Chain A
Amino acid sequence: EPEVTQTPSHQVTQMGQEVILRCVPISNHLYFYWYRQILGQKVEFLVSFYNNEISEKSEIFDDQFSVERPDGSNFTLKIRSTKLEDSAMYFCASSGGQTELAKNIQYFGAGTRLSVL
């Protein structure tokens, strides 16, 4: 069964450093997303990406964050200068197949746990 894969599973970084979280969405999907979950809190939407541009973003997704689809398979989230409060589990998701209904199910990866020290 196709799945969304994320690397690394755990990333440790120093405050102020740049990190790139990587995701390989399901191959025929057209919509890509990042969510995060701070420990003990809700899963929160960050950004959605379609047709090589951001289609929606939340207030959390400020200038420190950026997303990119550098090639036909990867989807990345970059945090330019990490802060302690960026420590969270980051989930990538993808959706969108050939039918309208398929568009509505978002399939999630296992997540990358980011620890900012």
Chain B
Amino acid sequence: AQSVAQPEDQVNVAEGNPLTVKCTYSVSGNPYLFWYVQYPNRGLQFLLKYITGDNLVKGSYGFEAEFNKSQTSFHLKKPSALVSDSALYFCAVRDENAGNMLTFGGGTRLMVKP
């Protein structure tokens, strides 16, 4: 079975400061990892993915995430937060050997204050 944990319901940062949104996962095979963002009244918007290759992946809007196999983590980061980054962030995983089903974490609300 595959699972995802986002340990923080909410993360608060000041504009201009770096941000980290945490994600850990569990799969039996190799993981395919994704971050999605949800703005109010909008769908899930793809941010970035890790499939293979470099452990540091870069995505939209200046976000990046680091795949750490030994810690089974895929934390989302951004060097300098913007107020407009405030949204709900979801981490998701697919097991390479288990079809196309995505398993999502519970989501982390990011609040960036001016």
Contact = CB atoms under 8 A, between A and B. Distances in A.
A, B: real partners: yes
Interface of A: 4, 6, 31, 33, 35, 41-45, 48, 55-56, 58, 91, 93, 95, 101, 103-111
Interface residues of B, number: 23
A42 B9 CA distance: 12
B62 to A, nearest CB: 19
Contacts of B105: 42
A108 B100 contact: no
Contacts of B106: 41-42
B43 A104 contact: no
Given A31-B100, A48-B99, A56-B100, A105 B43 contact: no
Top 5 nearest A-B pairs (CB, nearest first) are A108-B44, A110-B43, A43-B104, A108-B43, A45-B101
11 contacts: A6-B43, A31-B100, A55-B100, A91-B43, A106-B34, A106-B46, A106-B102, A107-B46, A108-B36, A108-B44, A108-B45
Contacts, number: 58
B101 A48 contact: yes
A55 B99 CA distance: 8
Contacts of A4: 43
Interface string B38-67: 000111111001010000000000000000
Contacts of A91: 43-44
A110 B41 contact: yes
A43 B32 contact: no
A65 to B, nearest CB: 15
B103 interface: yes
